[in-house]
Amino acid sequence: MEFHENRPHQPFIGYVLLARSLKRAWQRRKYRRVLLQTNDEPANAGAKRQNDSD
């Protein structure tokens, strides 16, 4: 049996787990940035709307 016949057809599981964890960490940072930006905007918009109705 040759080497290429005996090797696994899937990638090393360590690389897959590492890639998944890096992807999750990157997405968490991305979502955190977006949420921090959007949390500031509605508070200011709500204050303006209340003042306009008076």
Note the pLDDT of residue 24: 97
User: How many angstroms from the chain centroid is the CA of residue 1?
Assistant: 44
Q: What is the pTM of this model?
A: 0.50
Per-residue pLDDT of the chain (54 residues; tens, 9 = 90+): 677 677 777 778 889 999 999 999 999 999 999 998 887 765 555 555 555 554
Note the pLDDT of residue 18: 95
Domain extents in the chain: 17-41
- DSSP collapsed to 3 states, 6-49: HCCCCCCHHHHHHHHHHHHHHHHHHHHHHHHHHHHHHHHHHHHH
Residues in the chain: 54
Note the pLDDT of residue 46: 53
User: How many angstroms from the chain centroid is the CA of residue 53?
Assistant: 39
Note the pLDDT of residue 27: 96
What are 12's two structure tokens?
């090393």
Note the pLDDT of residue 48: 55
